[in-house]
Structure 1
Amino acid sequence: MAVNVTEETIDLLMPYKKQVHTITANSGRKLAHHEKIVKDLGVKIYSFLPY
């Protein structure tokens, strides 16, 4: 599932690569492959604890 989320995130945001600089997400397993998103889109990813 995490691979699917990673690929879809990249596909959806690629047209906006120059406008997207950061992504904020919870610390769930869905972004387990966040390194690929960082590499492909050139963004910083911030995670937070949901409590």
Structure 2
Amino acid sequence: MARRSRWRSASHRKQIAQTLDQSPNTTHFHVKSIYAKFGERNRATLTALWLRKLR
């Protein structure tokens, strides 16, 4: 299951990179920087943090 999740994540980053006209590595670097800034480790916890801030 973890392998499938990583594959989806990598595929998603490639789509984002293509949309932003940048390399997947650049996109990955920026995503990691966002996680670090907020002290989160994955998209789910970052989304939960964001949703709590909206309330």
TM over 0.5: no
Q: Whose relative contact order is higher, 1 or 2, with alpha carbons under 8 Å and at least 6 apart?
A: 1
Q: As a proportion of its length, which structure holds more helix? A: 2
TM-score, structure 1 length as denominator?
Answer: 0.36
Q: As a proportion of its length, which structure holds more strand? A: 1
Largest Rg, 1 or 2 = 2
